[in-house]
Amino acid sequence: MLATDSTTLHAGAIDVDVADTVGAGDALLSGTLAAWADGADDATALRTGVAVATRLVERPGTSPPAFDGLDTRREAVSVRELSV
Protein backbone atom coordinates (compact mmCIF):
# COMPACT_ATOMS: atom_id res chain seq x y z
CA MET A 1 0.00 0.00 0.00
CA LEU A 2 1.19 3.49 -0.84
CA ALA A 3 -0.53 6.60 0.47
CA THR A 4 0.30 10.11 -0.74
CA ASP A 5 -1.49 13.43 -0.38
CA SER A 6 -3.40 12.72 -3.58
CA THR A 7 -3.97 8.95 -3.71
CA THR A 8 -3.91 5.63 -1.90
CA LEU A 9 -2.75 2.62 -3.92
CA HIS A 10 -2.79 -1.09 -3.19
CA ALA A 11 -0.50 -3.54 -4.98
CA GLY A 12 -1.15 -7.25 -5.13
CA ALA A 13 1.61 -9.70 -4.32
CA ILE A 14 3.24 -11.88 -6.95
CA ASP A 15 2.87 -15.60 -6.23
CA VAL A 16 6.38 -17.02 -5.74
CA ASP A 17 8.12 -19.66 -3.64
CA VAL A 18 9.31 -17.76 -0.57
CA ALA A 19 12.73 -18.74 0.77
CA ASP A 20 13.29 -15.94 3.30
CA THR A 21 11.43 -12.75 4.22
CA VAL A 22 14.32 -10.95 5.93
CA GLY A 23 14.68 -7.53 4.32
CA ALA A 24 11.45 -7.69 2.30
CA GLY A 25 10.13 -4.40 3.66
CA ASP A 26 13.46 -2.68 3.08
CA ALA A 27 13.50 -4.02 -0.48
CA LEU A 28 9.96 -2.76 -1.08
CA LEU A 29 10.88 0.70 0.16
CA SER A 30 14.20 0.89 -1.69
CA GLY A 31 12.62 -0.22 -4.97
CA THR A 32 9.85 2.35 -4.60
CA LEU A 33 12.26 5.17 -3.73
CA ALA A 34 14.64 4.26 -6.57
CA ALA A 35 11.77 4.33 -9.06
CA TRP A 36 10.63 7.73 -7.79
CA ALA A 37 14.22 8.99 -8.09
CA ASP A 38 14.13 7.87 -11.74
CA GLY A 39 10.93 9.89 -12.28
CA ALA A 40 8.34 7.11 -12.08
CA ASP A 41 4.74 7.87 -11.19
CA ASP A 42 3.31 6.53 -7.93
CA ALA A 43 1.81 3.34 -9.40
CA THR A 44 4.99 2.43 -11.28
CA ALA A 45 7.10 3.15 -8.20
CA LEU A 46 4.92 0.84 -6.10
CA ARG A 47 5.06 -1.87 -8.78
CA THR A 48 8.85 -1.57 -8.79
CA GLY A 49 9.02 -1.88 -5.01
CA VAL A 50 6.89 -5.02 -5.05
CA ALA A 51 8.96 -6.49 -7.89
CA VAL A 52 12.23 -5.89 -6.00
CA ALA A 53 10.80 -7.32 -2.76
CA THR A 54 9.52 -10.36 -4.65
CA ARG A 55 12.97 -11.02 -6.05
CA LEU A 56 14.46 -10.74 -2.56
CA VAL A 57 12.10 -13.20 -0.84
CA GLU A 58 12.88 -15.87 -3.42
CA ARG A 59 16.50 -16.02 -2.17
CA PRO A 60 17.67 -17.40 1.17
CA GLY A 61 19.91 -15.20 3.27
CA THR A 62 20.76 -11.57 2.83
CA SER A 63 22.52 -11.43 -0.53
CA PRO A 64 21.10 -8.91 -3.02
CA PRO A 65 18.69 -10.28 -5.61
CA ALA A 66 19.36 -10.29 -9.34
CA PHE A 67 17.60 -7.51 -11.20
CA ASP A 68 17.50 -9.09 -14.65
CA GLY A 69 13.91 -9.45 -15.83
CA LEU A 70 12.67 -6.91 -13.28
CA ASP A 71 10.54 -5.19 -15.94
CA THR A 72 8.59 -8.42 -16.46
CA ARG A 73 8.07 -8.77 -12.71
CA ARG A 74 6.94 -5.16 -12.43
CA GLU A 75 4.37 -5.67 -15.21
CA ALA A 76 2.92 -8.63 -13.26
CA VAL A 77 2.06 -6.43 -10.26
CA SER A 78 -1.53 -5.21 -10.23
CA VAL A 79 -2.15 -1.83 -8.63
CA ARG A 80 -5.52 -0.36 -7.83
CA GLU A 81 -6.57 2.93 -6.29
CA LEU A 82 -8.43 2.74 -3.00
CA SER A 83 -11.09 5.20 -1.95
CA VAL A 84 -10.49 6.32 1.61
Q: DSSP labels for the chain?
A: -EE-SS-EEEEPPP----S--TTHHHHHHHHHHHHHHTT--HHHHHHHHHHHHHHHHTSSSSPPPP-TTHHHHHHT--EEEPP-
82 contact partners, CB below 8 Å, separation of at least 6: 1, 8, 9, 10
pLDDT digits (tens, 9 = 90+) for 29-60: 999 999 999 999 999 999 999 999 999 999 99
Residue 15 has pLDDT above 90, yes or no: yes
Q: Domain ranges in the chain?
A: 18-81
pLDDT band at 64 (very low <50, low <70, confident <90, very high): confident
Per the annotation, the verdict on 38 as an active-site residue is no
The pLDDT value given to residue 66: 83
- pTM for the full predicted model: 0.92
pLDDT band at 26 (very low <50, low <70, confident <90, very high): very high
> Given 15, 17, 20, 26, which residue is catalytic?
26
